[in-house]
Structure 1
Amino acid sequence: MTGSPGRLDRRLGPTGAVAVGASAMIGSGLFVVLGPAVAAAGDAVLLALAIAALVAGCNAHSTARLARLHPVSGGTYVYGRERLGPGWGHLAGWAFVIGKISSCAVMALAVGTYAWPEHQRPVALAVVALVTLVNLRGVEKSAVAGIAILGLVLAVVLTSVVLMLGAPGAVARPAEVGTDARGVLQAAGLLFFAFAGYARLATLGEEVRDPVRTIPLAIAVAVVLVVAVYAVCTVALLHALGTDRLAASARPFVTGLRAAGHGDAVPVVIGAAALAAAGALLSLVLGVSRTVLAMARDGHLPRRLAAVDPRHRVPRAAEIAVAVVVATTVLLGDLATSVAFSSFCVLVYYAVANCAALTIPSSPVSRVVAGTGLAGCVVLAALLPWTTAVVALVVLATGAASFRVRTGAWT
């Protein structure tokens, strides 16, 4: 199927859509943020996980409703523009692009950390280049790669869970990591970084077959699947390591398998972790480039970024531009700070989505869900590390001010 020169083709079906969202969430959460989340929440990390899942579920519900009405590329950038005004759309798009570029750098660095720690950044740069080449071949190629990666990673992760739960648990002792309400909510904000993968589905709205049905279904399936995987993995890791050792571990599955007496499985887990992060990067770059495409079409970014490759039907210029910026961030960035920065920006993005959903005539239940999602986004963003939050606010304010100066309007 070939569309008009400036449009993308609807080539992605339900299975591919689920794979795009789930592979991003699994790669982000299991191998990057579990340790910092436990360090913040202590023994209450499962409560933090439930809070993050609740906020993510509310956001997913709002996103799915909006996607039915606006099944084109751009996600909340489009929803905010159409339902709240161009300024809000620009803010959402700006938050998504800068937040997800930070996420891309995190995933690339995670591959380097697991695969070859002594050469983390060169490996990360190589992975960015490889992912870009795959994405330039077309969205269906990316989906096929996502399905293969997701299946393999889930098999390794669930096998690791069985091995850890089958071994004697960590010796019970008073945890040194404290638990308080602020720590639990901060952990929920960090864990939200992992749950934001379904945003890729909304940003791919122009490339999904039957988007009115497929996008909401894929979002629901991906979120339920990932919440279940996170929960069983967290229980298994707490069983094998205890709170303190899990909080201190940069590679929790590696540490957990060794503690359970299965060190021979560590190389397989390292490979799966690197592959999961690469799969997350694959779908992240897809989503960011499509938002860049939508913003370029509207003149908020250079219009040359809106060009669509006539052969593979992908936004080639946007893909390459995103890859260059991600590579620069890899060279300059820090993994832990980038996670918090990304979480803050994406929470702002979903706050706009929930505001947009509140403008849709709907049942009281849907309005309560959108209101809960909005409140959750605001609270979790406010309780992230304040230094990172201040930097993110400055960057977001700069983007908003540039729009105001350029257009002379907001709505």
Structure 2
Amino acid sequence: MNASAETGGLRRRLGVFDAVVIGLGSMIGAGVFVAPAPAAGAAGSGLLIGLVLAAVVAYCNATSSARLAARHPESGGTYVYGRERLGDFWGHLAGWGFIIGKTASCAAMSLVVGSYVWPGREHLVAVAAVVALTALNCVGVHRSARLTRVVVAFVLAVLAAVVAAGLGGGTADAGRLAVGADATVGGVLQAAGLLFFAFAGYARIATLGEEVRDPRRTIPRAIPLALGIALFVYAAVAVTLLAVLGPDRLAHSPAPLAEAARAAGVPGLVPVVRAGAAVAALGSLLALVLGVSRTVLAMARDRHLPHALAAVHPRFGVPHRAELVVGAVVAVVAATADVRGAIGFSSFGVLVYYAVANASAWTLGPDEGRPPRAVPVIGLAGCLLLAFALPSASVVSGAAVLAAGAVAYGVRGALGRARR
């Protein structure tokens, strides 16, 4: 009997629309409200080039992930792909990278909620948000998907209002979009790595492999659709911010979209933008906790994590123990985390995760829906390049935690051999 049968199966409730919305809930979330500022600080006037590079890598990752998800429609995403295509260790490393990276993302998103809802008490609000959304996830993914639809619709409306005000208010200057001498190769690569933080939400779709209807058709359709919409939105927002604020002002802005609305002469839009940021962060947090818990579920089934976490609730059909543990860890991290530092750490872990995804996609045969050979090659090289172009603190801390995961894998294997 396999682990899935032992612990109970998840319920297949989600169609293409819901899967796309869950992906957008992660990609068009708080990242769009915070990531452009540190990216502009790294790339200066080369911000849009960094955005294009991040988009190319994200496209390759999405294509590889979609083909793999159609072949392996199980919860766990690249943890499953790496295990099945490359070997047990690479699956473990991918799952570990995803969990640590996205735990940092969850903490960052919860802190954005706190900073917009109650400045000065952001940690308290962050913890409360984590507790509330963990409880929501524990009563069923279908209810989470419904709430995510509302969140995505509201955030898109807020972003559209900012773009319209910025580009139509007479304060935009197209000359600010020109690439100047402040844009260096290293800075552009670092900006691309930081912006990748905001694009990585399509992984949530792949990690829901056991909860979508007809996954072999639904997942390959949903991933590129969600990514395409997100790329369009991010490009429009980035152009607006550069045209209204310029790269220097953008780099030093703690709330760039709110400042852009104010600079465009629409101060009444600022409270709406703040509300949009808080709602977007909640939407991202909702989908992130959902995705991380499914990877924990898959790793627990294979005993890379405590097997008790593989339990599925008999009534709600969700991995409730994994949800509760993930929520508890995120709440602890949110009590001490720094938003901008978490972005770099998260990007490193997730880029490693997608490097394994692209390497796994390379092994697909022509009869398995293999993508064009250039896709996994560019994706793998791009992930590694962007990962090691991130700020040194993010690279060192991320590599150290990944190494700890590799050591844990080795210890687990040694103990297993000793018992035999």
TM-score by length of 1: 0.96
Contact 1:177 1:244 in 2 (8 A): no
State the 1:198 CA deviation: 0.4
Q: Specify the alignment match of 2:379 in structure 1.
A: 373
- The match for 1:340 among 319, 344, 349 is 344
1:285-340 CA distance string (max 9 Å, x none): 00000000000111111111111111110000000000100011111211111100
| CA distance 1:177–1:248, change in 2 (3 Å) | farther
Cα distance in 2, alignment partners of residues 406 and 268 from structure 1:
50
Residue 14 of structure 2 is aligned to residue 12 of structure 1: yes
Q: Specify the alignment match of 1:95 in structure 2.
A: 97
Contact 1:63 1:202 in 2 (8 A): yes
1:338-385 CA distance string (max 9 Å, x none): 100000000000000011111111389622100000000010001101
Cα distance in 2, alignment partners of residues 366 and 220 from structure 1:
15
Contact 1:340 1:385 in 2 (8 A): yes
Cα distance in 1, alignment partners of residues 262 and 180 from structure 2:
22
Q: Specify the alignment match of 1:392 in structure 2.
A: 398
Contact 2:30 2:278 in 1 (8 A): no
| CA distance 1:31–1:140, change in 2 (3 Å) | same
Contact 1:186 1:380 in 2 (8 A): yes
- The match for 1:313 among 306, 311, 317 is 317
| More off after superposition, 79-88 vs 108-117 | 108-117
**Match of 2:213, SS?**
coil
Q: Specify the alignment match of 1:38 in structure 2.
A: 40
Cα distance in 1, alignment partners of residues 230 and 180 from structure 2:
29
1:166-199 CA distance string (max 9 Å, x none): 1222576899992101000000000000110000
Residue 333 of structure 2 is aligned to residue 329 of structure 1: yes
Contact 2:294 2:319 in 1 (8 A): yes
Cα distance in 2, alignment partners of residues 95 and 324 from structure 1:
19
Unaligned runs of 5+ in 1: none
Q: Specify the alignment match of 1:169 in structure 2.
A: 171
- AA paired with 2:135? L
Cα distance in 1, alignment partners of residues 61 and 30 from structure 2:
18
Cα distance in 2, alignment partners of residues 176 and 387 from structure 1:
27
1:41-98 CA distance string (max 9 Å, x none): 1111111000000000000000001001100100000000011111110000000001
- AA paired with 2:412? R
Contact 1:39 1:177 in 2 (8 A): no
Cα distance in 1, alignment partners of residues 415 and 344 from structure 2:
31
1:233-291 CA distance string (max 9 Å, x none): 11111121111111111111110010011111111111111000100000000000000
State the 1:409 CA deviation: 11
Cα distance in 2, alignment partners of residues 385 and 318 from structure 1:
31
Contact 1:28 1:193 in 2 (8 A): no
| More off after superposition, 354-363 vs 391-400 | 354-363
State the 1:200 CA deviation: 0.5
1:206-230 CA distance string (max 9 Å, x none): 1011111111111011000000000
Cα distance in 1, alignment partners of residues 327 and 395 from structure 2:
25
Cα distance in 1, alignment partners of residues 206 and 30 from structure 2:
18
Residue 247 of structure 2 is aligned to residue 247 of structure 1: no
| CA distance 1:8–1:191, change in 2 (3 Å) | same
| CA distance 1:183–1:409, change in 2 (3 Å) | farther
Q: Specify the alignment match of 2:239 in structure 1.
A: 235
Aligned residues: 408
**Match of 2:316, SS?**
coil
| More off after superposition, 164-173 vs 129-138 | 164-173
What's the C-alpha RMSD, in Å, of the aligned pairs? Answer: 1.9
**Match of 2:29, SS?**
helix
TM-score by length of 2: 0.94
Deviating beyond 3 angstroms after TM superposition, the runs of 4 or more aligned structure 1 residues are: 170-177, 362-365
- AA paired with 2:345? F
Cα distance in 2, alignment partners of residues 46 and 396 from structure 1:
31
State the 1:31 CA deviation: 1.1
Contact 1:6 1:308 in 2 (8 A): yes
State the 1:405 CA deviation: 2.0
**Percent identity over paired residues:** 54
State the 1:13 CA deviation: 1.0
**Match of 1:118, SS?**
coil
Unaligned runs of 5+ in 2: none
Q: Specify the alignment match of 1:147 in structure 2.
A: 149
State the 1:29 CA deviation: 2.6
Cα distance in 1, alignment partners of residues 325 and 166 from structure 2:
42
| CA distance 1:177–1:111, change in 2 (3 Å) | farther
- AA paired with 2:85? R
